[in-house]
Amino acid sequence: MTGTYGINYGKISDNIPAPEDVLRLLRMNKIKNIRIYDADSRVLRAFSGSGIEISVCLPNELLKDVSLNGSIALEWIQVNLQPYLPGTSIRGIAVGNEILGGDTSISEALVPAVRSVYRALRRLGLTNTIEVSTPHSEAIFSSTYPPSNGTFKESMMPYLGPLLRFFNRVGSPLYINAYPFLAYKFDPSHIDINYALFQPNKGIVDPKTKLHYDNMFDAMVDATYVALEKLGYTKMQVIVSETGWASKGDDNEAGADPKNARTYNFNLHKRLMKKKGTPYRPKMMAKGYVFALFNENLKPGPTSERNFGLFKADGSIAYDIGFKGLVSSASSKCKIRKLQIIALFLTNLEQGWIQD
């Protein structure tokens, strides 16, 4: 990741713009780094020559096979990635997504799968341009508060230990999915929402390091650096692979509304574009990918899962953080109103309330 700010381009939806239009949207807003959750040929083809750096994902369901047979990793890269190189700037392969903390059998396959993918890239002469990584959820931590208490779960170490040793050897960063939104959602009575949203607040002072934190994002990143340091990895970079705030949620999802989503994402963009480090690692630029580009209407789970997008499905902005949409918000509202009127007309016609 050569920039400091990127976006996750998820596609669990049946109504978002085509990849060619997505490329236009990203260019309009000068976004140069994206992550996708597959290796969609339509996206890789459309982004050829764009210069936008893409991290693709080897799906979770392939991990076991790839871990047992290196030729599968080689074939996957040759079929899914090589045809688009070097025109499309594929810069990373995420081997699975949030593997640790879930199915133990897949956890056991993670390190062998990562090694298989790396060996395949090395055989193809691509290790200098394509990075191997895997993003983790907060499930890998036993403690993150205060940041100086950052510690990985002991139960994760049989998998995380060899993974970190391998990443340290090949120079890969550690990717984490860090969501102040989720922390606030589960404990709104004890977390200052302004601290979660990068808004003015008294913050916290870490009793051990004496460092002051005025936002939870930096604290989460520094807790990861501390956890790495406790294992002897003082130079490994931490990159946030996902972070964001839902603009809508269920009744029990505290803080999920457009105002908070706008505030978090506006301030996150401003913070990352400063290209500064964190209190604990001031010389290591903070980098992150916001989740997500679009609201995805087919995502399962609570309402918030379908409302993390910076943009609505039609390409208009979900709220204003300074980005431009493919269509204006006014045009989007007008179109919705027209569809509502048409639907009402058809309903009345079916019920016989409108005569021929």
User: 65-74, 102-111, 123-132, 200-209: which has the minimum mean pLDDT?
Assistant: 102-111
- Flag whether pLDDT at 348 surpasses 90: no
Q: Give mean pLDDT, residues 323-344.
A: 68
C-alpha dihedral over 11, 14, 19, 23, to 10 degrees?
A: -70
Phi, psi of 302 (to 5 degrees): -65, 165
- Flag whether pLDDT at 352 surpasses 80: no
- Flag whether pLDDT at 344 surpasses 90: no
Phi, psi of 143 (to 5 degrees): -155, 140
Average pLDDT for the chain: 94
- Flag whether pLDDT at 339 surpasses 70: no
- The whole-angstrom separation of Cα 348 and Cα 356 is 12
Confidence of residue 331 (pLDDT cuts 50, 70, 90): low
Specify the pLDDT at position 70. 96
**Catalytic hit among 53, 98, 131, 253:** 98
Q: Give mean pLDDT, residues 322-338.
A: 71
Buried/exposed 178-211: b ≥16 CB within 10 Å, e otherwise:
bbbbbbbbeeeeebebebbbbeeeeebebeeeeb
Specify the pLDDT at position 46. 98
- Flag whether pLDDT at 345 surpasses 80: no
Of residues 332 and 164, which shows the higher confidence score? 164
Confidence of residue 327 (pLDDT cuts 50, 70, 90): very high
Confidence of residue 102 (pLDDT cuts 50, 70, 90): confident
Specify the pLDDT at position 338. 57
Q: What is the pLDDT of residues 16-51, one digit of tens each?
A: 999 999 999 999 999 999 999 999 999 999 999 999
Q: Give mean pLDDT, residues 1-13.
A: 96
Specify the pLDDT at position 309. 98
| Entry pTM | 0.92
Confidence of residue 96 (pLDDT cuts 50, 70, 90): very high
Tokens matching residue 340: 């509502």
User: What's domain 5-327's superfamily in CATH?
Assistant: Glycosidases (3.20.20.80)
Give the residue among 12, 99, 87, 101 at the shortest CA–CA distance from 54: 87
Tokens matching residue 158: 């049989």
Confidence of residue 353 (pLDDT cuts 50, 70, 90): low
Specify the pLDDT at position 335. 56
Known catalytic membership, residue 98: yes
* Residues 204 and 149: beta-carbon distance below 8 Å: no
Give the residue among 122, 216, 233, 96 at the shortest CA–CA distance from 173: 233
Q: What is the pLDDT of residues 119-149, one digit of tens each?
A: 999 999 999 999 999 999 999 999 999 999 9
Of residues 102 and 277, which shows the higher confidence score? 277
Q: What ranges do the domains of the chain cover?
A: 5-327
Pairing of strands 174-177, 135-136: parallel
- The whole-angstrom separation of Cα 132 and Cα 98 is 15
Q: Over the chain, what HEC string results? A: CCCCEEEEECCCCCCCCCHHHHHHHHHHCCCCEEEECCCCHHHHHHCCCCCCEEEEEECHHHHHHHHHCHHHHHHHHHHHCHHHCCCCCEEEEEECCCCCCCCHHHHHHHHHHHHHHHHHHHHCCCCCCCEEECEECHHHEEECCCHHHCEECHHHHHHHHHHHHHHHHHCCCEEEECCHHHHHHHCCCCCCHHHHCCCCCCCEECCCCCCEECCHHHHHHHHHHHHHHHCCCCCCCEEEEEECCCCCCCCCCCCCCHHHHHHHHHHHHHHHHCCCCCCCCCCCCCCEEEECCECCCCCCCCHHHHCCCCECCCCCECCCCCCCCCCCHHHHHHHHHHHHHHHHHHHHHHCCCCCC
Q: What is the pLDDT of residues 150-202, one digit of tens each?
A: 999 999 999 999 999 999 999 999 999 999 999 999 999 999 999 999 999 99
**Catalytic hit among 131, 242, 253, 296:** 242
